[in-house]
Amino acid sequence: MSAKTNIRPLRDRVVVRRLEEERKTAGGIVIPDTAKEKPMMGIVIALGSGRVLDNGSVQEPVVQVNDKVLFGKYAGTEVELNGETLVVMREDDILAVIEG
């Protein structure tokens, strides 16, 4: 079941599925879950319609569904949906799109 069919963000909000980070260092040391930070990278799974500007027009989102993005450590609000933790954030909280 796709999360996109179950959650529809409004206006300039996007829904991101966090990507898990590597659990080992380059030297092969395993990082325990208690020491692991939340990943700041994810995949956009749903988009709102866009930001409403002062003149009433709507600026469409710059990011697209399936874009791999970087976002701030404390960006957005975590929500649980169908046993999966997702992050709902403003498009402005997205720092970059990773291409390639």
Domain with 64, as residue range(s), is 3-98
CATH, residue 25: 2.30.33.40
Q: Of 94, 91, 97, which Cα lies nearest the Cα of 10?
A: 91
- Domain count within the chain: 1
Joined tokens for residue 16: 């991101």
Q: Report the distance separating Cα 56 and Cα 44, nearest Å.
A: 26
Q: Of 35, 10, 9, 36, which Cα lies nearest the Cα of 21?
A: 36
Q: What is the pLDDT along the chain (100 residues), one digit of tens a residue?
A: 344 458 888 899 999 998 876 565 566 676 665 545 666 899 999 999 888 889 989 888 999 999 999 998 889 999 988 888 899 999 999 999 998 7
> pTM for this one?
0.75
